[in-house]
């Protein structure tokens, strides 16, 4: 190991920055974050440093550097653009065993600044020992997306309970067991949702009682298929789950991202193939949570848009099971974007209606009069089988037979297919191209834009997934 990572407490400790420009300012700000007592030495200073000096946040010494400026310093940074001055700082600091960093000159650094993921009080430092700073920065970006923001407040809350827990639980093993329970409890999700006082209250209760493991359900929208369309929150909760209850609509690539050792339960849901009845799924979620499990209930698209998420959450609430709801990108938004079809457009559509082609058996007939109005877009979910009926009703209620339509099969996935044509031939297109589920119907003038825009959509998705095909109608 070329550098030992240590975290130093610089509170009021004297540090020196040699230089008065932008680089010195940057380094000075890093020191100020750690509340160090910063002195800067330079013949002149940039405006921001002068302001910091006037506010007594730093001490400015207007002078050329000499070795006496090092007196009493713990750390020193050489941030001038003069090689000989930087070299002089390095040599003299080294001679006095003071840690020194010459900016952008790694051989002249006895300490270096790592890339930082800051979730104060949790801090993660990454270093490539100066060999590959861009790679270190990339790693940092990855960690930034993986580590949730609430980790900081969670650590602060836990820190505020440490002494109390130490007094109450005298053995190390008991304390460790207690904290394991806390981190598996909904204290974490309470902090995550910003309710720190409820989290603190629950922590008190856990400390008072002999804690039972506590379950909860995450109702997560997985989006239409491309795993890169998952939200960060969805990904984080998927990694915490003990059990994953999923539908067919969730793509294999997304299922790859759930916690490796989680139990997987498929509850089906393809048209005409409800492998588990909805009320059984509802009950399963309640039972699993009551057994103390963290349950990830993952659904395609958004759980509250034709996803029965509402029904499931109602049952959880009735049974007093804790839950979180994570929205997902609904098929209409994802598929239309990847097919290059804006759902609204000032020249073509001022409104968008989400419609289901598959109502409850005893459900109401759709309001065809309203759906047939021009200058609006219809995004029709589960409309493939009912397409002859949809086509007939829209025409009967006055929608023009030449209205553009697009059928997007497997939207946002590797095998996305887009078929375009006119409303008058909708059912025929579906049959001729053997469209299979999942497929979304877009009816309205905007569908004609696919020809113009799908190429750009394709380019924008280079690193990922869908390869929208040109309309074949």
Whether residue 164 lies in the annotated active site: no
CA distance 206 to 204: 5
By beta carbon distance, the residue nearest ligand SAM is 301
Query: Is 430 known to sit in a ligand binding site?
Result: no
Binding mask 246-285 for ligand SAM (x = CB under 6 A): ---x------------------------------------
DSSP annotation string for 62-73? ES---GGGGTT-
247 tagged catalytic: yes
Question: Hunting for tokens 């890169």 — which residue is that?
Answer: 228
When asked if residue 410 is in the footprint of ligand SAM (CB under 6 A), the reply is yes
CA dist 322 and 290 (Å) reads: 10
Fill in the per-residue mask, 364 to 393: x = in contact with ligand SAM (CB under 6 A), - = not in contact. -----------------xx-----------
Integer Cα distance of 350 and 373 in angstroms: 11
Smallest separation (angstroms) from ligand SAM to the CB of 441: 8
- Is residue 306 involved in binding ligand SAM (CB under 6 A)? yes
Q: Any binding-site annotation on 152?
A: no
- Selected from 185, 236, 281, 330, the binder of ligand SAM by CB under 6 A is 330
d(CA 208, CA 232): 34
Q: Does 44 show up as a binding residue in the annotation?
A: yes
| Binding status of residue 60 toward ligand SAM by CB under 6 A | no
CA dist 364 to 65, 357, 388, 391, Å?
Answer: 84, 12, 18, 18
Largest CA distance in the chain: 92
Q: Using the rule CB under 6 A, is 20 a contact of ligand SAM?
A: no
Give which of 336, 314, 338 is closest to 325, Cα–Cα: 314
Structure tokens at 339: 């097919």
Burial 137-167 (b: 16+ CB within 10 A, else e): eebbeeeeeebbebbbbbbebbeebeeebee
Question: What sign results for the dihedral spanned by CA atoms 275, 278, 279, 282?
Answer: positive
Q: Is 195 annotated as a binding residue?
A: no
Instruction: Pick between residue 332 and residue 449 the one whose CB is nearest to ligand SAM.
Output: 332
Q: Which stretch binds ligand SAM (CB under 6 A): 13-21, 175-183, 341-349, 436-444?
A: 436-444
Is residue 225 close enough to count as binding ligand SAM by CB under 6 A? Answer: yes
**Helix/strand/coil (H/E/C) assignment for every residue in 4-30:** CCCCCCCCCCEEEEECCCHHHHHHHHH
- Residue ranges of the binding site for NAD(+): 22-23, 43-44
Binding-site ranges for ligand SAM (CB under 6 A): 224-225, 249, 299-302, 305-307, 330-331, 335, 381-382, 408, 410-413, 437-440
Annotated binding site: 22-23, 43-44, 224, 300-302, 305, 330-331, 382, 411
Question: Residues comprising the binding site for S-adenosyl-L-methionine?
Answer: 224, 300-302, 305, 330-331, 382, 411
Q: Which residues are catalytic?
A: 247, 269
């Amino acid at each position: 190991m070329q550098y030992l990572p240590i975290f130093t407490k610089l509170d009021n400790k004297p540090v020196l920055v040699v230089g008065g420009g932008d680089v010195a300012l940057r380094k000075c700000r890093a020191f100020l974050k750690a509340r160090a007592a910063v002195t800067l030495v330079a013949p002149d200073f940039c405006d921001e440093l002068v302001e910091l000096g006037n506010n007594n946040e730093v001490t400015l010494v207007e002078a050329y550097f000499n070795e006496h400026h090092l007196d009493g310093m713990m750390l020193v940074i050489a941030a001038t653009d003069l090689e000989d001055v930087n070299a002089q700082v390095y040599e003299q600091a080294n001679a006095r065993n003071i840690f020194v960093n010459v900016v952008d000159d790694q051989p002249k650094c006895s300490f270096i600044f790592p890339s930082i993921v800051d979730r104060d009080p949790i801090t993660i430092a990454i270093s490539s020992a100066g060999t590959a700073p861009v790679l270190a920065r990339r790693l940092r970006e990855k960690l930034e997306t993986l580590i949730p923001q609430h980790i900081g407040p969670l650590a602060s809350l836990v820190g505020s309970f440490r002494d109390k827990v130490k007094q109450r639980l005298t053995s190390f093993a008991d304390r460790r067991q207690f904290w394991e329970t806390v981190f598996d409890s909904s204290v974490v999700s309470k902090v995550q949702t910003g309710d720190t006082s409820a989290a603190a209250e629950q922590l008190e209760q856990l400390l008072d009682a002999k804690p039972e493991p506590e379950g909860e359900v995450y109702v997560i929208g997985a989006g239409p298929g491309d795993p890169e369309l998952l939200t960060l929150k969805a990904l984080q909760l998927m990694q915490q789950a003990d059990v994953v209850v999923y539908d067919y609509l969730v793509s294999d690539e997304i299922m790859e991202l759930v916690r490796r050792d989680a139990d997987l339960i498929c509850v089906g849901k393809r048209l005409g193939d409800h492998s588990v009845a909805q009320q059984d799924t509802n009950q399963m979620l309640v039972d699993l949570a009551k057994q103390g499990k963290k349950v990830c209930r993952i659904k395609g698209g958004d759980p509250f848009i034709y996803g029965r998420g509402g029904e499931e959450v109602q049952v959880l609430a009735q049974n007093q099971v804790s839950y979180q709801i994570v929205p997902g990108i609904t098929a209409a938004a994802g598929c239309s974007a990847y097919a290059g079809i804006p759902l609204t457009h000032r020249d073509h559509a001022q409104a968008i209606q989400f419609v289901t082609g598959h109502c409850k058996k005893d459900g109401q007939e759709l309001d065809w009069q309203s759906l047939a109005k021009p200058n609006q877009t219809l995004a029709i979910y589960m409309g493939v089988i009912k397409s002859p009926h949809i086509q007939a009703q829209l025409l009967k209620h006055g929608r023009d037979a030449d209205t553009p339509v697009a059928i997007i099969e497997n939207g946002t996935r590797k095998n996305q297919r887009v078929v375009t044509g006119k409303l008058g031939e909708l059912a025929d297109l579906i049959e001729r191209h053997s469209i299979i589920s999942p497929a979304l119907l877009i009816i309205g003038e905007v569908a004609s834009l696919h020809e113009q825009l799908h190429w750009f959509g394709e380019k924008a998705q280079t690193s990922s997934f869908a390869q929208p095909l040109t309309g074949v109608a």
